[in-house]
Amino acid sequence: MNTTPSSIPRTSAVVFTSAQRLDDGVVERRFTLGEVPGILWTPETATPSDPRPLILLGQPGGFGLDRMYPRLVGRALSAASDGIATVALEGPGSGTRPPLPGADQARADLRRALAAGEPVSDDIIDRLILPVVEQSVPEWRSALDALLRLPEVDEPVGYAGGVIAVGVRLAVVEPRIVAAGLFAGSYVPRATLEEARQVTIPLHVLLQWDDEGNDRQAALDLFDAFGSREKTLQANLGGHTGVPPFAGDDAARFFARHLK
Amino acid sequence: MNTTPSSIPRTSAVVFTSAQRLDDGVVERRFTLGEVPGILWTPETATPSDPRPLILLGQPGGFGLDRMYPRLVGRALSAASDGIATVALEGPGSGTRPPLPGADQARADLRRALAAGEPVSDDIIDRLILPVVEQSVPEWRSALDALLRLPEVDEPVGYAGGVIAVGVRLAVVEPRIVAAGLFAGSYVPRATLEEARQVTIPLHVLLQWDDEGNDRQAALDLFDAFGSREKTLQANLGGHTGVPPFAGDDAARFFARHLK
């Protein structure tokens, strides 16, 4: 079994490796931060005298930045049209990064349970999700330290996307994050349900009503548990990958309301 | 017990009784249709050569037009800013209209059950809601006949608001209604749950997560039952009357998407 040391020391600085101007006046810059690659999108009108709020774009576990790029850039362009910067990081165990300890075994156990038509046990969910949380959360926090030293981005910060357990932990521990748009599309560890009660920031939670791989009741229980005074659940018909375009628009308005 | 004859013959014409221009270029006209009062709001730019789609503004049972006016005019101005006309009717048993047969008894039984901490029986729900459905639906359809003869309004038509059982029945029987924004804030008769499977138009369903008077699971079951291929549930924290302003904005965008 590997051990995975923390891959972004808290003193790391963003090292830009490429830059291009996309349509719509958005600058896309690839970077590394310690050992971790990432992409930062900023409206080209962002300047040191007019810095922009930042949304951290979370990703489903196990998919790399390259595979997720089309969806990420779509969200980046949408946020930029509201004047907001966005950033994505290669997740632990994803893309070119080394696998997380125990991840292969947990995925094999998950596949076996699903193939046998058995319920997915809490133990499998914990082994699948908690290592991602343990590794992702400090990486995002170190990335935030580094990114907020760039003159063209500034607080407040939002978190958007999956893994939902990562978003919940960040919402609890990272005070610079003031709003989160979460995708109820991954398994929910028992510990996450407990942590949810400590979340107080405004939340916008997307649920695909017919998600093949997930437990609708677990998602509803999680939504119920959140301690936030402003929380919205938006459930849309369709499977895991069928989030309709207007749901993205509604999430974008949620962030525009809270970050600007 | 009263009997309540149908109050709007299908051949009735709209008789305007007053008109005023609101801020934002919206014309508000009060009218009667048979014995039933109503209010029509149209953007003043609506003309015979540029007629506007129409949203029927449903209301919670038992509240009169006067009491609901502030909320109704808010929705009317919002729709008008998207170029859409809106109309409200005094509901059966509401305002100055005669009480519905059995309504007082059903409400007394409801209060008794709530005071005793008992579950509200299907029988009470049926006696409370079904007479409203039976009377409202033909009235809305006759009103639609009359309103669509006005040169400044035209199909398509949407239905927005409560009583949810009225919206479900209208969505099933009235082909001119192409989209519905429903408020899951009233009791759901068993018959409505069955009818929901026949609904195929796009739906936007609002649910107040902590609604004091209603059964959250019944609302979720109803959402699940709808046969529509596009359906969105938006649940917000708060009680029956705590719908947040942004929820109204999201509903407005739903109608703008489907009526224009």
Q: pLDDT tens-digit profile of A203-233?
A: 999 999 987 777 899 999 999 999 999 999 9
Minimum distance, in Å, between the CA of residue B228 and any CA atom of chain A: 9
Mutate to test the interface with B, among A226, A250, A253, A255 (most CBs of B within 10 A): A250
pLDDT at A6: 64
Nearest by CB to B250, which of A209, A235, A250? A250
Does residue A3 surpass a pLDDT of 60?
A: no
Nearest by CB to A232, which of B234, B253, B257? B234
Q: Which tokens in the block code for residue A142?
A: 């170190």
The answer to whether A230 contacts chain B (CB < 8 Å) is yes
Minimum distance, in Å, between the CA of residue A169 and any CA atom of chain B: 21
pLDDT at B225: 96
pLDDT at B96: 86
Nearest by CB to A246, which of B246, B247, B257? B257
Does residue A4 surpass a pLDDT of 60?
A: no
Contact residues, chain A, for B249 at CB < 8 Å: 253
User: Is the separation of the CB atoms in B234 and B247 below 8 Å?
Assistant: yes
- Which domains, ranges and CATH numbers included, belong to chain A? 15-259 (3.40.50.1820)
Kindly report the backbone phi and psi dihedral angles of residue B47, in degrees, each rounded to the nearest multiple of 5, phi listed first. Answer: -140, 170
| ipTM of the complex model | 0.74
Residue from A80, A77, A55, A59 nearest A154 by CA: A55
User: What are the C-alpha distances in Å from B183 to residues A226, B57, B80, B180, B216?
Assistant: 23, 11, 20, 10, 12
The H or E element spanning position B201 is none
Contact residues, chain B, for A220 at CB < 8 Å: 220
Q: Which residues pair with A41 in a beta bridge?
A: A28, A86
Kindly report the backbone phi and psi dihedral angles of residue B238, in degrees, each rounded to the nearest multiple of 5, phi listed first. Answer: 130, 170
Put simply, the answer to whether B234 touches A234 (Cβ < 8 Å) is yes
The answer to whether B255 contacts chain A (CB < 8 Å) is no
The answer to whether B228 contacts chain A (CB < 8 Å) is yes
Residue in B with minimal Cα distance to A255: B246
Distance in angstroms (rounded) separating the CA atoms of residues A188 and A34: 29
Residue with tokens 């590794």: A135
pLDDT-derived band at A245, boundaries 50, 70, 90 = confident
The answer to whether A245 contacts chain B (CB < 8 Å) is no
Distance in angstroms (rounded) separating the CA atoms of residues B223 and B207: 10
Residue in B with minimal Cα distance to A246: B254
Put simply, the answer to whether A233 touches B234 (Cβ < 8 Å) is yes
Nearest by CB to B236, which of A209, A232, A235? A232
Q: pLDDT tens-digit profile of A91-107?
A: 999 988 999 989 999 99
Residue B54 three-state SS: strand
The answer to whether A233 contacts chain B (CB < 8 Å) is yes
Name the CA radius of gyration of chain A, rounded: 18
Minimum distance, in Å, between the CA of residue B14 and any CA atom of chain A: 37
Distance in angstroms (rounded) separating the CA atoms of residues A185 and A195: 18
Residue B67 three-state SS: helix
Q: Which residues pair with B180 in a beta bridge?
A: B159, B203
Mean pLDDT of chain A, nearest integer = 91
The one-digit pLDDT tens for each residue of chain B (260 residues) are 334 456 788 778 999 999 999 988 999 999 999 989 999 999 999 999 999 999 999 987 777 898 889 889 999 999 999 999 999 999 999 988 999 989 999 999 999 998 998 989 999 999 999 999 999 999 999 999 999 999 999 999 999 988 999 999 999 999 999 999 999 877 899 999 999 999 999 999 999 998 776 789 999 999 999 999 999 999 999 887 788 888 888 999 999 999 98
The answer to whether A85 contacts chain B (CB < 8 Å) is no
Distance in angstroms (rounded) separating the CA atoms of residues A32 and A145: 14
pLDDT at A255: 97
Put simply, the answer to whether A237 touches B232 (Cβ < 8 Å) is yes
Put simply, the answer to whether A247 touches B257 (Cβ < 8 Å) is no
Please name the residues between 188 and 217 in chain A that touch chain B, using a CB distance below 8 Å. 209
Minimum distance, in Å, between the CA of residue A173 and any CA atom of chain B: 23
Secondary structure (DSSP) of B167-179: HHHHHHH-TTEEE
Task: Please report the sign of the dihedral spanned by the C-alpha atoms of residue A160, residue A166, residue A168, residue A172.
Answer: negative
pLDDT at A212: 73
pLDDT at A12: 85
Q: pLDDT tens-digit profile of A176-187?
A: 999 999 998 788
> Residue A90: which region, alpha, beta or left (left: phi > 0; alpha: psi -120 to 50)?
beta
Residue with tokens 């990272």: A174
Contact residues, chain A, for B203 at CB < 8 Å: none
Crossing angle between the packed helical segments A245-259 and B245-259, to the nearest 10 degrees: 150
Nearest by CB to A237, which of B229, B237, B247? B229
**Long-range pairs for A147-150: beta carbons < 8 A, 24 or more residues apart:** A147/A14, A147/A40, A147/A54, A147/A87, A148/A54, A148/A176, A149/A13, A149/A14, A150/A14, A150/A40
